[in-house]
Amino acid sequence: MEYSPVLYIVIPCYNEEAVLPVTAPLFRRKLEDMMNQSLVSADSRILFVNDGSNDGTWELICTMAQEDPHYIGISQSRNRGHQNAVLAGLMESKDKCDITISIDCDGQDDLNAMDEMVKRYLEGNEIVYGVRSSRETDTFFKRFTAQAFYKLLNWMGVEVVYNHADYRLISRRVLQEFQNFKEVNLYLRGMIPLVGFKSTTVFYERHERMAGKSHYPLSKMLGLAFDGITSLSVRPIRMISGLGITVSFISFLFIIWIMVQYFRGETVAGWASICAIVCLMSGIQLICAGVIGEYIGKIYLETKSRPRYIISERTYEEKCSKQKEELQAEQ
């Protein structure tokens, strides 16, 4: 018999009573479709994560779960934000399924990319990133800011997949390693690539929201962007050190010029000394701030206590000594 993995579709929902009745049946139909093709197992589920909604979202999820066992739901005790809701869903699924696909509940991301994601997994990929093929439905402003943001992140040394949001397939194996990333400031798009393993991308069209309204106004987008940079990069601290060195160098040149002016007698009394001190001190202070920053950066990375290595393959079967004893006893 062919291998059909158990799939959990993880869907974060925050105040989505307007859109959920529209999109839930679409997810269900997609799952049915994939089960009929034996692409995924009949034990697959659609897992809704209620992110502390204060409308009827959770009641809706409960009703759906009662009517159809393929729908299941968990609820966060309060609103913690999109990234945390996705993480909660992924961690809930990691021991129950072979693969997860996370997707927003508003129907913006094309469900039909799921088939291809699963196929890519069956070909041996552990992570499959959904990438938007076009941004035509986005406003010019959103497109422009998003592009600038990806460039900025890359420049900061953060590895992100271009035009990929949080629509992706992750295997159980990757999730099991990912649970060791204990940080609380989440930026999943930047963190998942850190886990490694074989990965690929599939392309899809992004549509307009089917109903309800976006929960990502500009302020939240900027917040996520800032989180992305500061959670994954210590480059801003390095920039302070760099600035310190540059300012010191310029100050040094400036001080020479001041001295020349002084000896030529073209200055007012006190001007030269004050200027020299201001230049010198600002340079020294910035360098000091940078040095302190380097240490803070190190502490910051240590406090994340991320795994230091992840093994993806072995030429031998792992057996602990207890298992070995049991095997010997059997023989």
What phi and psi, each to the nearest 5 degrees, are found at residue 169? -95, 135
**Bridge partner list, 50:** 13, 75
Selected range binding ligand UDP among 77-85, 172-180, 234-242, 265-273, rule: CB under 6 A? 77-85
| Residue whose token pair is 């360098």 | 287
109 binds ligand UDP (CB under 6 A): no
**Residue 121 binding: pick among ligand UDP, Mg ion, none (C-beta 5-8 Å cut-off by kind):** none
How many chain residues touch ligand UDP (CB under 6 A)? 16
Closer to Mg ion by Cβ: residue 209 or 238: 209
Q: How far is CA 103 from CA 112, 114, 169, 289, in A?
A: 12, 10, 9, 42
Sheet holding 127-132, edge to edge: 71-75, 45-50, 7-13, 99-102, 164-171, 127-132, 199-204
Q: How far is the CB of 97 from Mg ion (least distance, A)?
A: 24
Find the largest Cα–Cα distance for the chain. 100
Q: How far is the CB of 61 from ligand UDP (least distance, A)?
A: 12
Closer to ligand UDP by Cβ: residue 79 or 200: 79
Contacting residues toward Mg ion, per CB under 5 A: 104, 106, 108
89 binds ligand UDP (CB under 6 A): no
Q: Which of residues 7, 9, 10, 13 is near ligand UDP by CB under 6 A?
A: 13
105 binds ligand UDP (CB under 6 A): yes
Task: State how far the Cα of 311 lies from the Cα of 289, in Å rounded to an integer.
Answer: 38
Q: How far is CA 218 from CA 142, 190, 244, in A?
A: 9, 20, 32
Task: State how far the Cα of 201 lies from the Cα of 128, in Å rounded to an integer.
Answer: 5
16 binds ligand UDP (CB under 6 A): yes
Binding track, positions 190-229, relative to ligand UDP; x by CB under 6 A:
------------------------xxx-------------
Q: Which of residues 10, 51, 110, 172 is near ligand UDP by CB under 6 A?
A: 51
DSSP class of 52:
S
| Residue whose token pair is 């909660």 | 88
Q: Which of residues 22, 33, 74, 79 is near ligand UDP by CB under 6 A?
A: 79
Binding site for ligand UDP (CB under 6 A): 12-14, 16, 51, 79, 81-82, 85, 104-106, 108, 214-216
